Amino acid sequence: MSAHGVGEPALLPTSRPERVTGEIATPRFRLLYTQGSEGTARALSENIEAVRESFVKVLGRDWPGTTEIRIGLGREEYEALALPGGQPPGWAVALAYPAHGIILLEARSLNTPEGPVTLRHELAHVALGQIGGSWPRWFQEGMAQHLTGERIALTHYAAIFRAVAQQRVFEFEDLAQGWPDMRSDVEIAYAQSADFVAYLASVHGAQAMSELLNGVAAGEPFEKAFGKAFHSSLTVEENAWRGGLATRFGWLPLTTSMQLAWLVAPALCVVAYLRRRQQQAARLEAMSQEEAAEDAEIERLAAEAAQQAQPPAQEGILLPWPAPLSEEQREAMDEEEARDPSLPKPTLH
């Protein structure tokens, strides 16, 4: 089965699609492009080997053969490059045919923020398919997300939180071959698969993960290779993983969240009320300070206006005090009085 649950065509020789106009070869890849996607193919050819090498470091081994990537520009070209009998879903912009070692890619998707992650996801499916063996669906999807870093997405946390709260975590036995249809259930299936694979890698290490891959590649059934690599059974590991979900995916331990919520609700209400009162007091204090500042400014402006309205003070007109008479002036006045005794004499008041 190809990625996204699409049935993979039988392993028969396939001719090159008519839309293909050229090919770029690297040591471990063959990129087929159309007239409109040549630029994308050339850009991808510069770093695709480094992407594969990063997978090798995590998987502990490379996968055999040359991986083919078919790149079309637009939906019409993209679907025209699909393998006969393996048309991609209408919502998919990339599709892997793991057993064939082929990836189908819409050129413009690489220019989106999710584009490189999508390509790595499909490449992980090809890696597992080419390593060989029969892989449970949950392991394929979980390993693909583990390799691309999708497991740290906030949407995954939300999906598992919802699943634990609603007691809708799937048994991995039910995800070995089938896959849910409802979108909400699909989100949970992807998220818990990614988290379980990350859990196995963190608890047992890269060496054990590599041993699991090698065992399945050698033809061992998955659960037998799982037991030899991890020295534990799938059931034991799944139960241990489930036991930690309540504390890892919730603000409160989910087994007692309702009881604790009822206990802390009154205290939370009191805290909220006191905080509200403090906020109101702070606002009132700020308003009082603003009013006081406004009043002071008004008083200052009024004082300036009053000062400007008063008329300027009139300086007193001072009459000069008469200087004392000189000797010659007194003699002249005496002579004048002698000639005319009727002249009035000055008096002091």
101 and 193 share one domain: no
Buried b (16+ CB within 10 A) or exposed e, 327-339: eeeeeeeeeeeee
Instruction: Compute the distance between CA of residue 161 and CA of residue 249 in angstroms, rounded to an integer.
Output: 5
170 and 234 share one domain: yes
Instruction: Compute the distance between CA of residue 160 and CA of residue 182 in angstroms, rounded to an integer.
Output: 15
For residue 37, what is the domain's CATH number? 3.40.30.160
Q: Does residue 346 form part of some domain? A: no
1 and 122 share one domain: yes
Name the residue range of residue 150's domain.
134-253
Q: Does residue 264 form part of some domain? A: no
24 and 138 share one domain: no
Q: Does residue 47 form part of some domain? A: yes
Question: What pLDDT digit, counting tens, does each position of 159-168 carry?
Answer: 999 999 999 9
Q: Which are the contacts of 187, defined by CB distance < 8 A and separation ≥ 6?
A: 155, 159
63 and 91 share one domain: yes
Q: Does residue 144 form part of some domain? A: yes
DSSP output for 180-198: --SHHHHHHHHHHHHHHHH
What is residue 293's predicted lDDT score, i.e. its pLDDT? 72
Question: What pLDDT digit, counting tens, does each position of 114-138 carry?
Answer: 899 999 999 999 999 999 878 999 9
Supply 253's token pair. 């331990």
Number of separate domains in the chain: 2
Instruction: Compute the distance between CA of residue 11 and CA of residue 17 in angstroms, rounded to an integer.
Output: 16
142 and 248 share one domain: yes
Q: Which of 188, 218, 253 is the C-terminal boundary of a domain? A: 253
Q: Which of 223, 253, 283 is the C-terminal boundary of a domain? A: 253
- pLDDT of residue 289 exceeding 80, the answer is no
87 and 173 share one domain: no
Where is average pLDDT lowest: 75-79, 255-259, 266-270?
Answer: 255-259
